[in-house]
Amino acid sequence: MAKRQSSLNDFVQFFSSLKCGLLLLSLLGMAVTVGTLILQKPMAREGQIEELYAPQTIRLLNALGLFDVFHAWWFILLLGLLGANITLTSLERLPQAWRYFSRPHLVAEEWFVRQLTFKREIPLGSIPVDEALPLAAKKIESLGYRAKPESLQRGTLYVEKHRFARLAPYIVHTSLLIIFAGAIVDGIYGYRGYVSLGRGMRAQELEPLSPNAPRRRLPFTLRCDEAGMEKYPDGSPRQYWTWLAVEEKGREVLRKQIFVNEPLTYKGIRFFQASYGSTGTPSKVVVEASWPGQAQTLSLRPSEKVSLDEQGTQVELGDFLPDFVLEGNQITSRSSEPNNPAVRLVVTRAGGSPASVWVFPKSPDMNPPNDTGINFRFRDVEMEYITGLQVAKEPGQGLIWGGCLLLTGALMMALYMSHIRIWGVLGRDRKGKPVLVLGGQPSKYRESFEARFNALAEALEQTFRTTVAPKAELEHVSA
């Protein structure tokens, strides 16, 4: 039993040690590095991972959770272990710092001041012994230091600055714990997803981005009213945009145009513009039909017949290949963008059978024989486009940002503030003459403190040498 207790104590002692903290921090840093080097699913566009990695590599990285490191169970566990280590380490060292903070050493003996690293004997000159401390307190107050009245009444000149800096490391630790807590909340309760919407489409379910993650259902309906792309003069994409609307119980509650860096946020869920592209389906094809003595421009929409003449001839959009290529005897499309369109029109004369007419705008020599007697020329096409939205719910972001702000303030305090303490007591030098024994101690930045301490001591020495204050005034200062 005693051996088991000893083993447990050894484990707790190691787990709360700086060595264990550095080990956990190193592992966490390695995990973050891996998450930076390996493309993460929440950040990848559709099909990008399959382009970069072999199928076997994808299966291995998926199994290890390396495609979504920051939501992996082992990453959350590392955060929890490091948080526990910081907590135990802080609790072990906090009592000593808290003593400095809660119970300052207001009253000092002469032997205590003399053993400090920074000390100085200041002759009182003609100043009476009982008037020296009040006069010194008045002088240092003019220099920006305020002596504690309660210590003066007990025979000690005590000056203190930035006592709160003693707690700066523990505030840093607390801010880290808050950040870790936010990351853990995000990892457990947050999620990322993807949704593709065309104009007029609605969605309530999200495709998960994390491996093996379940499909998520939104607590509202998302509607796409319009999507588009702004281009540079050379035709390259400048930015994508989407008009989104949020519906609840059949009623629109929010509508916003989003861009790549301007998401829509509703009920803690953010929708980012991620991609934009053609569906490969036209919304309208414009062709010019001509026959002897007549011509007409037709706007053809899918599944819609357009009358051509008074005899009842009708034209309908059959097939549309946005980027056709001929592979053997088969015509297929290389992409969904209208780079090299091919259009099949269905022409039906009154009382006749439907006839197909192929139009190849960029390769007119490929147009097959046309038995309809009508010549068709391609003029324009409007494609149906689909917008890709990344969706993120991160309930721990408030904690993370709050922790970052607290961490910034704590680091500023830890780096730029030093707990300064100065004591002054009456004593005697080697010749038995009365002196003010002045001593000081900083928590850090000893060189800077030494210069300030010497300047303060010289100012007091100059005051004692040149000034004899009225006794009534000194009693007023002491009170």
Domain ranges of the chain: 2-92, 104-162+418-478, 185-279+387-405, 284-379
As given in the structure block, the two tokens for residue 227 are 């999507």
CA 261/CA 274 separation, integer angstroms: 10
Tokens 């002196």, residue? 435
Q: What is the pLDDT of residue 422?
A: 95
What angle in degrees, to the nearest 10, is found between the helix axes of 168-189 and 73-102?
Answer: 160
CA distance 108 to 116: 11
Residue-by-residue DSSP string for 364-427:
GGGPPP-TTS-EEEEEEEEEEEEEEEEEEE-TTHHHHHHHHHHHHHHHHHHHH---EEEEEEEE
CATH number of 104-162+418-478: 3.30.530
* Residue 57 to residue 67: CA distance in whole angstroms: 11
Along the 479 residues of the chain, how does pLDDT read in single tens digits? 556 667 777 787 888 888 898 999 999 999 999 988 888 876 676 677 888 888 888 888 888 888 888 888 899 999 999 999 999 888 888 888 888 788 888 999 999 999 999 999 999 988 889 899 999 999 999 998 999 999 999 999 999 999 888 889 999 999 999 999 999 998 888 888 889 998 889 999 998 876 667 888 999 999 999 988 888 888 777 888 999 999 999 899 999 999 988 999 999 999 999 888 888 889 899 999 988 888 899 999 988 999 888 788 899 999 999 998 877 777 788 888 888 899 999 999 887 888 899 898 888 877 788 888 889 999 999 888 889 998 999 899 999 999 999 999 999 998 999 999 999 999 999 998 999 999 999 999 999 999 999 999 999 999 998 865 454 444 444 44
Q: Please, what is the angle between helix 2-15 and helix 18-37, to 10°?
A: 50
Q: What does the pLDDT read at residue 5?
A: 63
What was the pLDDT predicted at 475?
A: 47
Asked if 101 and 169 count as a contact pair (C-beta separation under 8 A), the reply is no
Looking up tokens 């523990």 gives 170
Handedness of CA 210, 212, 215, 218 (dihedral sign): negative
